[in-house]
Amino acid sequence: MRLLFHRISLTLSSKDTKTLILLHTAVFLAGWTGIFGRLISLGGLPLVWYRIMVSVAVLAIVLALMGRLHKVGWLAFAKIAGCGGILALHWVAFFASIQASNVSIGVACIALIVISVLIQTRRVTHTNTSR
């Protein structure tokens, strides 16, 4: 695939093209998250609960079809559940903020997650993330 952008020619491999399509799909879906959060009349907690239930069901089906669904130990389960709990709290706060303010504020805040994760990663791992 060949892209032309302001007189700059860039040749992309099929792997790069697939990656770009996945990236644009993710950005598109992330943009609609705020709009759906505003349009849905459920509160933040029930909305996130239903979202989690659908995600668990879909992931279980996909992993079972791929043959990668297996039991994990209690420690791994506790770590996964802890991460899931933190993510659920994030989504409850996100949807509550969308419903309390407007979509543009909520989407701008979710875009700042990258900076927040970078700062937290540096604090937790005590490493320099610059290259």
Contact 42, 93 (CB under 8 A): no
User: What's the confidence (pLDDT) of residue 8?
Assistant: 47
User: What's the confidence (pLDDT) of residue 1?
Assistant: 47
pLDDT at 31 over 80: no
57 — pLDDT class (breaks 50, 70, 90):
very high
Structure tokens at 78: 């506790």
| CB proximity list for 98: less than 8 A, separation 6 or greater | 34, 37, 38, 106
pLDDT tens digit sequence for 94-108: 778 777 877 777 777
Count of positions (residues) in the chain: 131
Domain boundaries, the chain: 2-125
The whole-model pTM stands at: 0.57
